[in-house]
Amino acid sequence: MFYRKINILAVLFLASFQSMAGFEGGLSYEKLLRLNSPQNKTDAVDWVTLSSIYKDKARDTEVYGEANLRYFFNGPESLNYSLPELYYSSDTDDSTWTFGRKVVNWSLNEKYWLVGNLNGRQGFTLLSSKQEGLTGLHYTKSATDNIDLGIFFSYFHIPVLNPGISIEDGKVNSNSEWIRRPPESTIILGTAVPIEYRINMPSIGDVVLKKSLGINAAYKWKSGAISSYAIYKPENNLRTNAEASLSTDGSKVIAVANPIVNHHLMYGIQGKQYFGDVLGVVSFDVNDPNANLGDDFEVLNPLQLEDDDRIFESEYFTIKPNYDRESYLSVSASVDRTNYILSLNYIHLMSDNTRGSDDFFSETVKWKSTVGLMGRVMWTESLFTLIDYRYDLKREDQIIRIEGDYIISNSFSLRVGAELIKSPENSSYWSAYRANDTVYTSINYLF
């Protein structure tokens, strides 16, 4: 009866949307089928997703908003929510002022490689490339016919919220299987002792009232451009540190998690050039979580790690979050035509990041030297297929995503897909998800 009421309300809600100019979106019921049994197995295999977009564009102004909700109704009921973009934009003869949340396209290859350093990742699924923008003032100006400038400034920060976690009865829980969880026990004098987790939640002001400053410059010509950027801002994900103590009766270790916001500096240079219909992009990007831009943009001092609680050592375990600088060289070639999209991609880790994936409250880099092939084909006006294959030449990781979409009518579509992961080395980022092979299906109502 409860779900019947929900369905009736959803239909009424969508009917009201259809009568509002500027709105479009979809409601989908999705189901997940496991091909194996992951270690962190949840009951969240059925959910309803609501996606909506609002767009109102006049001659010199634009209002744009996009929102996504995902409700898990089996197992522990929970809700994922995301606001990828929400902004007001105003154009003049040679500049654009944008206020709000918007994706920053300063690193063209970041989205494909799921890096999530510049723009946040929505995090509804493990391999989703959906991005969440930065909130603040976005300003672009055409200084000359060939030179464009861009500035981002903000006193407000919205971190990535998905996949969500909670601490209940001393254990870390999540409705997502693609989030790494800390260990449930540790060894003391040769005996396994359980770890009970607690959390010191930061205030909203300590998280959102953070400053950002970024600049981008591009020199363009008829068939291409070269650009560079630098941005200093809070990391999209909260860092999680912890301190530990042994309970008075010695039966457990109590770990108190302390989420913190850390600033980082990103900078890079990229060039793009069209060769007929083929767009080639070469990009070099650096992410430095230890950079310090001065007192007005406060950041943890890398020379005072222990004083700032970035490293915790006890007789039970050592907590040392990774504050390693990472640099990537990436190359892509893509063709975007009416009936198909093809791309060839490559990314190479230029910095020395040797950490494994078993560190406490930390994880290794996603890619070391990886090739990616992606193709999306429109076979008919009703049938679409996608295949995305990535292979790490050093770790031998293989990541495969396959999707097929069939449009039943103007208002309904059916999707079937699969995510397959092979990761032979335990030190790989993807080794934690090697048992997360899934097939998923969804039926979608479009409005």
Percent of the residues in the chain that have a pLDDT greater than 90, as a whole number: 55
Q: What is the pLDDT of residue 171?
A: 83
171: which 2 tokens?
């254990």
User: What is the rounded distance in angstroms from the CA atom of residue 154 to the CA atom of residue 166?
Assistant: 29
Q: What is the pLDDT of residue 243?
A: 76
Asked if residues 399 and 390 have their Cβ atoms less than 8 Å apart, the reply is yes
**Residues 129-149, mean pLDDT to the nearest whole number:** 96
Tell me whether strands 191-199 and 212-221 are parallel, antiparallel or unpaired: unpaired
What DSSP state is assigned to residue 431? Answer: G
Q: What Cα–Cα distance (Å) separates residue 13 from each residue in 24, 52, 68, 369, 444?
A: 12, 12, 15, 47, 15
30: which 2 tokens?
């999705």
Digit-coded pLDDT (tens) for 65-82: 999 999 988 766 778 889
Residue of higher predicted confidence among 10 and 370:
370
Asked if residues 176 and 44 have their Cβ atoms less than 8 Å apart, the reply is yes
Asked if residues 356 and 427 have their Cβ atoms less than 8 Å apart, the reply is yes
**Residues 123-143, mean pLDDT to the nearest whole number:** 94
Backbone angles phi, psi at 303, to 5 degrees: -85, -5
Whole-structure pTM value: 0.86
Maximum CA pair distance of the chain?
Answer: 73
The count of other CB atoms within 10 Å of the CB of residue 387 is 15
Q: What is the pLDDT of residue 82?
A: 93
> Helix/strand/coil (H, E, C) string of 178-213?
CCCCCCCEEEECCEEEEEEEEECCCCHHHHHCCCEE
Q: In what order do the strands lie in the sheet with 185-188?
A: 185-188, 191-199, 253-260, 239-246
Digit-coded pLDDT (tens) for 178-221: 777 777 777 777 788 888 888 888 889 989 999 999 999 999 99
Residue with tokens 């009736």: 8
CA 156 to chain centre: 19
Which of 102-106, 255-259, 413-417, 436-440 comes out lowest in average pLDDT?
255-259
390: which 2 tokens?
């990535």
Q: What is the pLDDT of residue 267?
A: 96
Q: Is the pLDDT of residue 370 over 90?
A: yes
Q: Which residues pair with 218 in a beta bridge?
A: 148, 227
Digit-coded pLDDT (tens) for 318-338: 555 667 889 999 999 999 999
Q: What is the pLDDT of residue 405?
A: 96
Q: Is the pLDDT of residue 304 over 50?
A: no
User: What is the rounded distance in angstroms from the CA atom of residue 423 to the CA atom of residue 45?
Assistant: 23
Which residue spans within 314-352 are E strands per DSSP? 318-319, 326-336, 340-349
Which residue spans within 92-119 are E strands per DSSP? 95-102
